[in-house]
Amino acid sequence: MKTFVVFAVVIVSCLAQRSPYAGRLPVGFPYVEPSTQAPDVLGNRFGEGDGTTMRLPLEALGDVALVQRISKMPIDQQPFWYVNWKALEENRNRPQTYSQRGNGFVDDSSNSNSLIFKR
């Protein structure tokens, strides 16, 4: 009887470590069932076309005609949100990069994989 009680306590304590509502799979990423279908089975669900859309500022609320009218205005009459959006899009498409400066503490001629330090 003591063996049964000890065995039952061990089993209950092991099962109590994880909630039955959490499932039996590891925590972190959801389980994705393997697909045997071709990737293009569903086709183009979002309409016909080449898949590219015109990028619009958030303030335009999806109004393409408004953005086209504003872009034809002189720069001093365009609203600030449009000018700011244009500058941000230009920076996003062509980010400004800087070259790295050399490190004065590292000898460029030495092998970087070497563990021997020169004095």
The per-residue pLDDT for 76 is 92
Residue 60 confidence class, pLDDT cut points 50, 70, 90: confident
* Mean per-residue pLDDT of the chain: 77
Averaged pLDDT for residues 86-91:
91
Exposed, middle or buried, 56 (CB in 10 Å: 0-12/13-18/19+)?
middle
C-alpha pair distances (Å), 72 with each of 66, 85, 103, 112: 10, 15, 49, 55
Averaged pLDDT for residues 33-38:
62
* Burial profile 4-23: b = 16 or more Cβ within 10 angstroms, e = fewer: eeeeeeeeeeeeeeeeeeee
pTM greater than 0.85: no
The per-residue pLDDT for 48 is 59
SS3 call for 30: coil
Averaged pLDDT for residues 50-63:
79
Averaged pLDDT for residues 57-71:
90
